[in-house]
Amino acid sequence: MARILAVGNLVLDVILNVGHFPTEDEELRAHARYLQPGGNAANTLHVLTQLGHETSLVTTLAMDAQARQLSELLTARGLDLSHAQRKLKGDTPTSYILIPENGASRTIVHYRNLPEVDFEHFAKIEIEAFDWLHFEGRNVEELKGMLNIARTFCPDTPRSLELEKPREGIEALLDQVHVLFTGRHYARAMGHADAPACIEALRHKAPQAQIICTWGDQGAWYQAPGGAIEHVPADKVRVRDTLGAGDTFLAGALHRLLEGASLQEAVRYGSQLAARKCRQVGLDNLLDPLPDDLPLANVEDVSGAKATIARVPGRDVSLILIRDGDTVKAYVNNCPHQHVPLNEAYKVDVNPFQKTMKCSVHDAWFKIEDGECVDGPCLGDHLQPYPIRIDEAGNIYAAPEE
């Protein structure tokens, strides 16, 4: 467990799930609306808290009801807000975010009129109490002073910076940080065709930093000082929501660096965690397995003499798991004769010599190998196969095709 201080904007995210992205002047009904705390550093700390760290956010808070709501939500998540700076003027920063059904994009309209944290405020925080200091790359004039203080008073405490967008004058501060996170957005805005080109350009500004550049579903590139530029591909996953995936990546990488891992291991872990995040909406419970990750059974439990009935977690599907030689076959538990579960009247009997199994309702016999009905009322019909995957330990997982 480490103590991590991050400086950045706390934002109210108003998220609308829509069937498709609207065109100008179109009227559209959203399927769902979520209000949640956002902002890169706040998101990163939320994930770091889940990873077991003590986290503190240095941000500004407006005097409005939204700020109170956000403070409560953040505190409930375990983030410390005691170093937040109150501002009398301005509203809670708000992001209006449209996410279409396929989850592949998120379009954000920002509303910002709240002043950001000033250097004098930061100077009063006892930064010596922290093991890591992280900064959003914004608010350049004030950031300059904050980095200066951090370097002067805690020279050995690692400092990281996220460079999400180009900001006037920020390049001059990059030699003050140990770890520099950037990504596609910044790279493109700076005219770099790819991540390696971006890292090469940044290397001149930050000769001593570990530099990491993420590139969405293409993965991340990184370079330690004096080392080569390396690549870690992204895990291929079924994407539901990418909002905050970059912030999750950053948390994962930072977590492993704090544990003393190599830059490569840190980038790998960040990528895995970001991929895991993309499979769900929001950032809660990122370390828990998703229903698809729970095994249905183990190959050893599926004996030759009987069929095993299993429910696909999180889906209303019942399966027949049945031993077929060394492996296991899975069929949807639905008899094509009268569309009832095969075990509706009794258990599903198996004939090991014929390699068939029987529907308990009207005695239709099906070949285990391919689910064809070879005897009974629905002769020639087939059970519907269901895709499964079996890992090295013999655990059987549902692998639904989307």
Report the interface residues with ligand FRU, using CB under 6 A: 11, 13, 38-40, 43, 95, 108, 243-244, 246-247
Contacts of 339 (CB under 8 A, 6+ apart): none
Alpha carbon distance 295, 317 (integer Å): 14
Nearer to ligand FRU, 10 or 359 (CB): 10
CB of 282 to ligand FRU, least distance (A): 10
Closest to 59 measured CA to CA, from 153, 111, 164, 135: 135
Query: Which amino acid, 86?
Result: R
Nearer to ligand FRU, 244 or 371 (CB): 244
CB of 184 to ligand FRU, least distance (A): 13
Comparing every residue's Cβ against ligand FRU, the nearest one is 38
Q: 245-258 vs 40-50: helix axis angle to the nearest 10?
A: 50
For 263, the 3-state DSSP assignment is helix
CB of 16 to ligand FRU, least distance (A): 13
Nearer to ligand FRU, 96 or 119 (CB): 96
Nearer to ligand FRU, 34 or 365 (CB): 34
Matching residue, tokens 């954000």: 108
| Strands of the 32-38 sheet, one edge to the other | 32-38, 11-18, 94-100, 107-111
For 66, the 3-state DSSP assignment is helix
CB of 245 to ligand FRU, least distance (A): 8
Contacts of 294 (CB under 8 A, 6+ apart): 313, 397
Sign of CA dihedral 82, 282, 19, 272: positive
Nearer to ligand FRU, 183 or 219 (CB): 183
Nearer to ligand FRU, 41 or 310 (CB): 41
CA count, 13 A, side-chain hemisphere, 342:
34
CB of 98 to ligand FRU, least distance (A): 12
CB of 46 to ligand FRU, least distance (A): 10
